[in-house]
Amino acid sequence: MTHRRQFLKYLAASPLLANFSAFAQEVEETLGERLTDPGEVINVFEMEALAREKLPPAHFGYLATGVDSDETIRANRAGFSRFQIKPRRLVDVSDVDTSIDLLGIEAGSPIILCPVGSQGAYHAEAELGSARAAAAKGHHMILSTQSSTSVEAVAEARGAPIWHQLYATNRWENTVQMLQRAEAAGCAAVCLTIDLPGGRNTETQARMTRSDTRDCTVCHTGQLKPMFDGLDMRGASLNNPAMTWEVIGRMKEVTDMKVIIKGVEVAFDAAMAVQSGADGIVVSNHGGRATETGRGTIECLPEVVAAVNGRIPIVIDGGFRRGADVFKALALGAAAVGIGRPYCFGLGAFGQAGVERVLDLLNRELLIAMRGSGTVDIESIGPDYVHDLGQRA
């Protein structure tokens, strides 16, 4: 065992594994033998380690991967250290309210479940497990185009209006049909993802898939993505490389849903989104899975907030693993914070119960950060509560 710990310490120091935050936390490899109840898991990093133990390598690889050298994944985490929390004392924090109203969506927490595709790869409950956990804990959720479960079933399981994430394919008639389907299912907004116009290089996934000895063709049969049912996808690509800002206006002509733009990282695009009629922005680099920018989303947030200047709400995602991370983003001007991998670690480890545990852990940490900083509700967390150390070297 001592040797194993030493080996894990060696691995933790290795740049090769720096994106596996579980190792950086010195989480033991055999955690799963001891932690059989989600209630015993004490943070998101342990949940990640459990998911890694339980999932087939190819499926965990899909969840964990970034692009190229996973530099942007690391930047998403490293970016938080640029900002420090400035707490205020002797404020009555006996009653702290974490609820939000985001474009008419009321939720008990500012933490949103972001769209993550193919959740059937993590647990048989798939998106239904996530939606039920979101409902049980009062969280808003965004469903992926690439879901393993239909938007109708997920909307019903959530029991409140969700947002639908859209990959506008290169056939406009497909886009229109997906918008109509999401709207008919009761979705309040469509969240158009704009950060994948031209493919990506997911090497961590490729490496882990190579180590998976199972025969994938046994499960990967037929159409696994219900949102594409009835669409003519022959020769169609998931993303449209010709898409430009006018797409927002075109979408608004065919849907009454609000239009949110996901994947904005710079002030120029934030201004373009507002000018083009977007109702909201998600500052996102797809969890380090799109363009290898090397820039964390929390580092992008201040310029986007300045460009938007309060005209539309800003959601941010990428690397949020602690309540304190969420607090920093709210202080910098985000209206809400999205998580992708963390709740899927919970899903992979325990199904719905694991997702609920992840949400409980993050909500508890956020509550502690709010109480500890003297903030009684989300609106009161402003720029005075955060110190910016400036650009990272």
Member of 320, 345, 350, 385 binding ligand FMN (CB under 6 A)? 320
DSSP 93: -
- Closest CB 317 distance from ligand FMN, rounded Å: 4
Counting contacts by CB under 6 A, is residue 225 touching ligand FMN? no
Query: Residue 145 in contact with residue 166, Cβ under 8 Å?
Result: yes
Tally of CA atoms within 13 A in the half-sphere of 28 that contains its CB:
12
> Which part of the chain contacts ligand FMN (CB under 6 A), choosing from 49-57, 314-322, 349-357, 378-386?
314-322
CA distances, 283 to each of 69, 110, 337, 377, 391 (Å):
22, 15, 9, 22, 18
Q: Which 3 state secondary structure label does DSSP give 85?
A: strand
Which two structure tokens, joined as six digits, stand for 310?
A: 């309060």
Counting contacts by CB under 6 A, is residue 226 touching ligand FMN? no
Specify the residue, 291 or 380, whose C-beta has the smaller distance to ligand FMN.
Answer: 291
Rounded to an integer, what distance in angstroms lies between the CA atom of residue 337 and that of residue 339? 7
> Which part of the chain contacts ligand FMN (CB under 6 A), choosing from 111-119, 176-184, 204-212, 354-362?
111-119
By 3-state DSSP, what share of the chain in percent is helix, strand and coil, each rounded to 5? 45, 10, 40
Specify the residue, 165 or 291, whose C-beta has the smaller distance to ligand FMN.
Answer: 165
Q: Identity (one letter) of the amino acid at 387? A: H
286 in catalytic set = yes
Member of 319, 323, 333, 348 binding ligand FMN (CB under 6 A)? 319
**CA nearest 105: which of 293, 335, 393?**
335
> Which part of the chain contacts ligand FMN (CB under 6 A), choosing from 15-23, 128-136, 324-332, 339-347?
339-347
**CA nearest 231: which of 316, 275, 166?**
166
- Closest CB 224 distance from ligand FMN, rounded Å: 13
Specify the residue, 175 or 380, whose C-beta has the smaller distance to ligand FMN.
Answer: 175
> What DSSP line would sit under 289-354, residue for residue?
TS------HHHHHHHHHHHHTTSS-EEEESS--SHHHHHHHHHTT-SEEEESHHHHHHHHHHTHHH
Specify the residue, 63 or 355, whose C-beta has the smaller distance to ligand FMN.
Answer: 63
Q: Of all residues in this chain, which one has the CB nearest to ligand FMN in the complex?
A: 340
x/- track of binding to ligand FMN for residues 187-206 (CB under 6 A): ------x-------------
Rounded to an integer, what distance in angstroms lies between the CA atom of residue 133 and that of residue 322? 19
Counting contacts by CB under 6 A, is residue 318 touching ligand FMN? yes
Specify the residue, 365 or 380, whose C-beta has the smaller distance to ligand FMN.
Answer: 365
Counting contacts by CB under 6 A, is residue 270 touching ligand FMN? no
Counting contacts by CB under 6 A, is residue 117 touching ligand FMN? yes
**Residue 7, H or E segment:** helix 2-13
Q: At what angle do helices 352-373 and 323-331 cross, to 10 degrees?
A: 60
> Which residues in the 272-311 window bind ligand FMN by CB under 6 A?
284, 286-287, 289
Catalytic residue among 59, 220, 286, 387: 286
Q: Which chain residues interact with ligand FMN by CB under 6 A? A: 62-63, 76, 114-117, 144-146, 165, 193, 262, 284, 286-287, 289, 317-320, 338-342
- Positions marked active-site: 286
